Amino acid sequence: MDRVLIEGLSVETVIGVYDWERTIRQRLELDLELATDIRPAAADDDLAQTLNYAAISERIGVFAETSRLELVETFAERLAAVLREEFGITWLRLTLRKPGAVANARAVGVSIERGER
């Protein structure tokens, strides 16, 4: 199976469990691997036959803009479900990082895989 990559996507959202976090927007960084067969798109040079990473990135931005979650785990799980449903993605790996959340760590986060390869 081929994979479409989106790496280092940065979005801002309200996320966190502390009261002060509920009043600000924080940056999250995402890396995604999305399973698809690129051969039809490559054969016809046709964007409609592959996963449109620009459209997917835009949808992630909208999701982040409207989310008001506490846990990065919840953000990752719900985002994965939205992407799989709306774009027909059979398998994905999503790595989500929250920079600066823990002193002396560049970032904290989760990495999940959903679906069948």
DSSP state of 104: T
At the second CATH level, the architecture of 2-115 is 2-Layer Sandwich (3.30)
CB distance 5 to 33 below 8 Å: yes
Residue range 68-95: mean pLDDT, rounded: 98
pLDDT digits (tens, 9 = 90+) for 33-43: 999 999 999 99
Q: What is the pTM of this model?
A: 0.95
Helices then strands, each counted (H, E), the chain: 3, 5
Catalytic (active site) residue 97: no
pLDDT attached to residue 89: 97
pLDDT digits (tens, 9 = 90+) for 20-30: 999 999 999 99
3-state secondary structure of 88: coil
pLDDT attached to residue 117: 82
pLDDT at 70 over 90: yes
20 CB-contact burial (10 Å; exposed 0-12 / middle 13-18 / buried 19+): exposed
pLDDT tier for residue 93 given thresholds of 50, 70 and 90 = very high
Instruction: Spell out the domain ranges in the chain.
Output: 2-115
User: Which of 39, 98, 107, 112 is labelled catalytic?
Assistant: 98
